[in-house]
Structure 1
Amino acid sequence: MLGFFGPFYEQLVGMLRKQQGQLAFDTIDRVNAWFTPFVLIAMTLAISCKQYFGQPIKCWTPREFSGSWDGYVHDFCFIENTYFVPNGTEVTDQARGDRHINYYRWVPLVLLLQAAMFVIPYNIWNMLHKRTSINLKGSLRFFEGAMKKSEPAKAVDAFAGEIWNKICEIRESRNKFQGCQATINFFLLKLGFVINCVLQMVLLKHFLDVDDYFWGFFHLWNVEFKGTAEKEDSIFPRVVLCDFKVRNLGQQHQHTVSCIMILNMIIEKLYICFYFWLIFVFILTTAGMLHFAFQMLFRRHSLVPTNLNNKPAMNPTRSHRFIRKYLNFDGILLLTYVDAQFGAFRTSQVIDGLIDRFVAEQQPDSSTVTSLHEENPERYVAFNTDTIPMDRLNRKVHSLIEEVDGPSAPPASEEKKEM
């Protein structure tokens, strides 16, 4: 039914079926790399069925034409280029040359190309993420397999140990970008989806031969609300003209017939819906990309699906060090995927396993003053498991000395002044 690009269609469908069960998939990924391509494939099937098994065009033929000639006219006008001339406009040679419409025969192939464009960014990311230290898909697949083969507690501990080993390897590496490679690839994936939406708009503009990128709004207003399709609209014309020649007794007679493009009514509705869906996907993907970048850069702690300060042997300083120095960007990204795929309870268990290994690695006396040896020390110390700011601690110690020894004696210079 799809002709010479049938194998391409089958390969694309097989690729989408494999992506359906991927673990490293969020909502925006599913909308871009899975749902939208399936919608485009469904549009391809609908248009192809009308082209090959239905009657895509219906022409008004002269009365003297027989049944065979009538079928010839329909097939000829569908294969050859038709042209659009609004009602009340004279049909001239210039109108015949400037208003040709030939895109409808290529619509199925272009729709498949657009579906492939939505899949390409994810496939590129799928190749790049395997080279990162923290392999998102591999780690999630390891956790899923461990949960099926062993008890949940053992699976969580094994997964936490696997993540901890990778974190230690990243910390020992001299490459500064070792701990953020997966995050950069993830951001580039979102950026690829945004660029794809822009390229889709450019492709639609040139394929439909429209003047600007807001053609969907103007077409919807002029055609659906004002009802001026036959006078003003030429993107998806319903009534077109077709020229053909008939040889009779050695002489050629040219005929111009009027045809109804039934196929264009289907193409029009599908493309208008796809145009506004493309705008929605662009806004959704852009907002998700910017929100992800803002959270990673300025509110990284909010992405951890638990309050680290409530964990035993943890305080704000240790939480800050655990997030910034140990988890880094890639560790937090992995935990967000674990939270999305396995739930907050399992994620909290994994974090507990990581914290146990983190606390065991710290020095025994590092819990008293943990921020004095950092590059950018925070003004916090741990005092009887309570975190107190340094200025408040100094005031508290000073008041305790006054209660025991009494007020401190004034300086000698001040006593002389009083005398």
Structure 2
Amino acid sequence: EIDDRDFVDRLHGFFTTNILIGLAVLVSFKQFGGKPIECLVPDIFTSSWEQYAENYCWSQDNYYVPLKESAAGMEEEEKKARKISYYQWVPFFLLISAVFFRLPSLLWKYLAGHSGIKINELVKMACDNNNIKPDIKKANIKSLVIHLQGALKFHKRVFFLCNLPYSSAYVTLMYVLSKFLYLANVTLQLFLMNSFLETDRYKYYGLEAVLDLIRGKTWDQTGMFPRVSLCDFDVRVMGNIQEHTIQCVLVINIFNEKIFIFLWFWYLTLFIFTLGSFLYWAFINFFPSTSKRFIARHLEMSELMFDPKENEKDLDKFVYGYLKYDGVFVIRQLTMHSGIIFGTEVVANLWRSYYNLERELKRSNSIDNCFSASNSPEKAKNNFQYDDSNEILLRNRKTFPPNVNYYKNTLSNDPLKESLSNEKECLIPPPMPSSDVINALKKATGLSSPSIGSQSTTSPMYEKYLSEEKRKAKNKKVYFIEKPENTKNKRSESPTPPSTYYSFALEDNVTSFNNVPPEVQKTDPPLQNLRLLELWKTFSKKYGGDSIDRWHFVYTSNLLIVFASISAFKTFGGDPINCLVPGSFPGSWQVYAENYCWSQDTYFVNPNEHVANIAEKDRYSQDRKLSYYQWVPFFLLFQAACFRFPSIFWKYISLNSGIRVHEIVERAMDPSNLEIATKEKNLEILTQHISLALKFQRKIAKKNIVIHKTMKLLNISYSACFISYMYLIMKSLYMINVIVQLYILNKFLETDKYQWYGFGVIKDIMLGTQWERSGYFPRVSLCDFTVRQVANIQKYSVQCVLVINIFNEKIFVLLWFWYVLLSVATLASFTYWIFVMTFSCFGRGFISSNLELSDVEDFDPIRCKKNVRRFVNEYLKQDGIFVLRMISTHAGIIFGTELVSKLYNVFLEYEENKKLELNKMIEGHVMNTLRKRKDIRKASNISLCSEDHYSGLLDNIEEKERPDTANSSGTTKSLKSQGSQTPKHYDSKISIGYSNKSVETIYHNYMLTLYKDIKH
């Protein structure tokens, strides 16, 4: 789901909340749907007495006494001190925790909606997948700018607390407040967990619980989540009250122990991330210099000719007087969710609108001051000041068509300030989509076009939004034509951003349900079909990786989740263990023994070895004890999360660049590309998007912009190799993860005998060694337990069969060999990508081979070698080649070849335009010099050649053969050797940034010819 929260916020409001709800459901299922407790009752108890005792002890608090201590004669006060009652409240405690984790996000959503800035809608518009289309992207940016222009005007000075929603920092304050609530909540949850579990002995529960596990301390030594407890209850028999004390095993505590250990470490991780996020947002929002630098670097990266030093005053007014806190905060959110390129274009458009309005405002104020200053130019010159009234003028404005000056038609006898401040205008929403868009929407939702003659049926709800556009439009485009309306007598409501739900209808094959308005979703049932399409797209996304990556985050993670579900179903919902008890044991004793032995660790003894010969202290030694079978579902889920993490890292990090790799791959893999028209349209869209993204990267490199001056390593996110490096890091994470998983697997199964578990198992199978001799995944184990009878403690040893180990053995043998295969394939893939990204010859070979297969006219790999080199090294660079490789990998060589050929044609056109622009600059310098020489000729009657001679001179020079570098470098020397200086109009900066040596040579030859001719 696309929203205005960052990754840390989603960890709280989405992931943690859903985890807690899921755990609460599982615990409730075991507590209220199964048998969470089994009690050891006397032989004289009937089945009804046994059921009564178990239900009573479950609903009543129990108390824990170590097995080696006697409970006889224990005082009531001491029993209360040992009381255990938290297990009854675990589901409710987890649900309350889930509510607290969700509350800050709900509070942020509610409070942020009171401002005029619809931050959630803005982020959805910025993250629209159709922004890969330049026209849709441009229209969305224009709508965002219009909305921000209208919303910022509501900001006023805060006089009272009730006016806070109308201040210029309301949204920012509410977001920082939500961050603080997240931090306070997770801190409170850590302390509440300790209090809820009554862990007075542990200051840091989770850490010390893990240390107990490492040291080999069990629950009977620590008293944490005890498996066995005591229960006192009274029974009225024959008018007398008889007291009974029975021993019960709390099966649910096996699950509770794992839950709270996981949650404690999860909360600790959340606390660290939330603290860092809170400090980060507080710093960047409330330190003015950070906001100014943020906007300045975006303006530097834009297409505007912006210099922070020259425009420092305008920048201060733009940041502190126009955008203020909320404006900068919104731009940060848009940049964080949609990428640096989208955010830069939004800032550039806001700057243009502000700069044009500021210029008109100053001009109008100067005219107004001339009237008020009694035609005194001295007073009018110094009369303008930037105050609150001018700020109102700056914000209360309308968007006018281009080349239209609003102030030209303003009456001169009325003050302009009053005419603007009293203007009651409203935002002009963009027009609705065309009829073709309607048909596309009907096609996507499974609706047929209504017949002309049918008047009885009611049209769907979305017709209200789509029927006002002209029906004659033929092309599938969104026309954002600003039609001026008479809105003088209308007061604008709280500005709402134009809806973008119709943007998905522009694509016949790419649907999106998130952009459909809620009222349409509820009242138009056919639109519910889009939910299935969205769900299918979610599970079928490729995330821009290769097949080896999908082996990790798709197949392996899903396989582990399936195995964990099957194991958990058998472990907590079936009979994972069956014990062979003495015949004298009643039925309740057998159930008690099985539940106790399952919750307690068992130990393995070779069938040929007598149990009586083994000392009691050696029975649960490290080499005999079996405890991993209780942790198998949790261990598998942990592994699934580890295999999924690198893909989440790659998806989140790659969004910071302007190249939308995931949307590019999805569009390239569109099944409708089988149609020629759709394929050509998608190729054109991808070509434009990649070209614009590469242009942005070249712009930053050409301007030599340093974004982060202290932490220079962060500047890599603005380079032309960011996506490539992040992909290599993801590959390395996959490699490290699978190797670590092999090591953890050996440690988890306690296979100290085998250094390589899987090979050892295969060797045992080949040699005919059974589990009785190897001891791995034994089917039969032993269990010791004690029973209190007549104030005495009696010890029993029973033999149990671990049915679950039959399944565990197959699972882990399969997983071990799968991990080995994954490690080999990942190592090969990682090596391949390092080679193709490090050595540029592989990139040139890839592009050259694609161009040979394409329809590019007169392409010869040898003759066009220099063009290909420039195309790879100067135009595509590493990220461009990486994206093209991804497209060829997913969409096939044919689609990739056609895209490479289109980009190559764009590159040739770019080179030609660059040469023409440089030639125009040179010709302009020459013509200016000639005009000056004409003035000299008139004074001294010196005859010179006509301007036509010099205008055609460049064409003649271009036809000449290109001299080598030595001649071009000697050209400048020859100028100086003739005893004169180089012409003043020669600008060496023109050649900077152009690696085309032929253009530089033409420039030098042109200047030399001009100099000699003028001197002659």
Q: Which of 554, 559, 564 is the aligned partner of 1:44? A: 564
Compared CA separation, residues 258 and 151, structure 1 to 2 (3 A): closer
* CA-to-aligned-CA distance 1:203-251 (integer Å, 9 cap, x gap): 22332223254122113322564224212x2332221110012333333
Post-superposition offset of 1:108: 0.5
Question: In 2, distance between residues paired with 1:271 and 1:171?
Answer: 51
> 1:266: which partner in 2?
807
Q: Give the conservation status (yes or no) of the 8 Å contact 1:197–1:281.
A: yes
State which drifts further: 28-37 or 360-369.
360-369
Distance in 1 of aligned mates of 2:578 and 2:867 = 76
What secondary structure is seen at the aligned counterpart in 1 of 2:810?
helix
Which residue in 2 is equivalent to 1:382? none
Q: Answer with 260-269 or 113-122: which moved more.
A: 260-269
* 1:172 and 2:699 aligned: yes
Aligned residue runs from structure 1 range 326-365, under 5 A:
326-363=875-912
Q: Which amino acid aligns with 1:167?
A: L
Indicate if the aligned counterparts of 1:133 and 1:179 stay in contact, CA closer than 8 A: no
What CA distance in whole angstroms lies between the structure 2 residues aligned with 1:74 and 1:366?
Answer: 96
Following the alignment from structure 2 to structure 1, what is the Cα–Cα distance between the partners of residues 880 and 608?
A: 68
Aligned position for 2:843:
300
**Distance (Å, rounded) in 1 between the aligned partners of 2:633 and 2:848:** 45
Equivalent of 1:106, from 631, 645, 648? 631
Question: Do residues 69 (structure 1) and 589 (structure 2) align?
Answer: yes
Check conservation: 1:318, 1:370, Cα contact below 8 A: no
Task: State the Cα distance separating 1:266 from its structure 2 match.
Answer: 0.9
Decide whether aligned partners of structure 1 residues 86 and 17 sit closer, same or farther in structure 2, where only a CA change above 3 A counts.
farther
**Pairing partner for 1:91 from 603, 614, 627:** 614
SS in 2 for 1:109: helix
Q: Figure out how many residues of one structure are paired with residues of the other and give that number.
A: 370
Equivalent position of 2:479 in the other structure: none
Structure 1 residues 368 and 202: CA distance shift in structure 2, 3 A:
farther
Counterpart contact for 2:783–2:797, Cα < 8 Å: yes
Matched residue type, 1:96: R
CA drift of 1:312 comes to 2.8
More moved, 303-312 vs 83-92:
303-312
How big is the shift at 1:78?
0.7
Q: State yes or no: 1:222 paired with 2:764.
A: yes
* Local SS of the residue matching 1:131: coil
1:173 alignment partner, SS class: helix
Counterpart residue number, 1:312: 857
When residues 58 and 194 of structure 1 are mapped into structure 2, their CA distance, relative to the original with a 3 A threshold, is same
Contact 2:783 2:798 (C-alpha < 8 Å) held by counterparts: yes
8 Å Cα contact 2:541-2:666 kept in structure 1:
no
**For the residues of structure 2 that align with 1:44 and 1:300, how far apart are their CA atoms?**
43
- 300 and 5 in structure 1: CA distance in 2 versus 1, 3 angstrom threshold: farther
- Alignment partners' CA distance in 2, 1:51 and 1:39: 18
- After superposition, where does 1:17-416 map in structure 2 within 5 Å? 18-22=538-542, 24-89=544-609, 90-98=613-621, 99-141=624-666, 151-174=678-701, 178-211=719-752, 213-222=755-764, 225-231=767-773, 233-298=774-839, 299-304=842-847, 306-308=849-851, 311-312=856-857, 314=859, 315-363=864-912
| TM-score (normalised: structure 2) | 0.34
Q: Secondary structure of the residue that 1:362 maps to in structure 2?
A: helix
Q: Which secondary structure does the structure 1 equivalent of 2:795 belong to?
A: strand
Give the AA of the match of 1:130.
L
Deviations 1:38-61 (A, max 9, x none): 111111122122213332112111
Does the Cα contact within 8 Å between 1:244 and 1:256 map onto a contact in 2?
yes
- Aligned residues of 1:82 and 1:100 also touching (Cα < 8 A): yes
Where 1:253 maps in the other structure, the secondary structure is strand
Mapped to 1, the partners of 2:606 and 2:790 lie a distance apart of 35
User: In structure 2, how many angstroms separate the alpha carbons of the residues matched to 1:371 and 1:191?
Assistant: 45
Instruction: Say which SS state the counterpart of residue 799 (structure 2) adopts.
Output: strand
Identity of aligned residues (%): 25
Seen in structure 2, the aligned counterparts of structure 1 residues 155 and 201 have a Cα distance that, compared at 3 Å, is: closer
SS of 2:772 mapped into structure 1: coil
Label 1:168 to 1:185 Cα distance change in 2 as closer, same or farther (>3 A): same
Q: Which range moved further: 183-192 or 330-339?
A: 330-339
Greater shift after overlay, 247-256 or 270-279? 247-256
Instruction: Say which is worse superposed, 194-203 or 211-220, in terms of deviation.
Output: 211-220
Q: Deviations over 1:125-180 (max 9, x none)?
A: 11110112323124345667897897433432232122122222222223695111
Letter matched to residue 159 of structure 1: L
Instruction: In structure 1, list runs of 5 or more residues that go unmatched.
Output: 9-13, 378-419
Contact 1:44 1:111 in 2 (8 A): yes
Deviation at 1:280, TM superposition (A): 0.6
- Letter in structure 2 aligned against 1:220: I
SS of residue matched to 2:575: coil
Contact 1:317 1:371 in 2 (8 A): no
Q: SS in structure 1 opposite 2:620?
A: helix
Q: Per-residue displacement from partner, 1:273-309 (whole Å, max 9, x unpaired)?
A: 1011111111111110101111222312343484435
* Contact kept in structure 1, 2:786 and 2:793, CA below 8 Å: yes
Q: CA deviation at 1:27?
A: 0.6
Deviations 1:58-90 (A, max 9, x none): 211111112222222111111111111223333
What is the one-letter code of the residue matched to 1:229? W
- In 2, the alpha carbon distance for the partners of 1:371 and 1:296 equals 32
Residue 411 of structure 1: aligned partner: none
Q: For 1:117 and 1:85, how far apart are their aligned partners in 2?
A: 35
Confirm or deny: 8 A CA contact 1:309 1:316 kept in the other structure: no
**Contact 2:650–2:730 at 8 Å: present in 1 too?**
yes
Give deviations 1:337-379, integer Å, cap 9, x for gaps.
22233333332222222122211233576997699699899xx
Q: CA deviation at 1:190?
A: 0.7
- 8 Å Cα contact 2:851-2:897 kept in structure 1: no
Q: CA deviation at 1:107?
A: 0.8
User: Structure 2: how far apart are the matches of 1:4 and 1:222?
Assistant: 42
CA 1:109 to 1:307, structure 2 compared with 1: closer, same or farther past 3 Å?
A: closer
Amino acid of the structure 2 residue aligned with 1:192: L
SS of equivalent to 1:278: helix
Residues 104 and 264 in structure 1, CA contact (< 8 A), matched pair in contact too: yes
Q: 2 CA distance for matches of 1:131 and 1:246? A: 63
Q: Which string of whole-angstrom CA distances, capped at 9 and with x for unpartnered residues, describes residues 250-282 of structure 1? A: 333211111111111211110111011111111
Q: 1:37·1:116 contact (CA, 8 Å) conserved in 2?
A: yes
Question: For 2:588, what is the secondary structure of its paired residue?
Answer: helix
The structure number with the bigger radius of gyration is: 2
Partners of 2:668 and 2:895 within 8 A in 1:
no
Contact preservation (8 Å) 2:544, 2:665: yes
Greater mean alpha carbon deviation, residues 87-96 or residues 62-71: 87-96
Q: Structure 2 CA distance, aligned partners of 1:20 and 1:286? A: 25
**Partner SS state of residue 542, structure 2:** coil
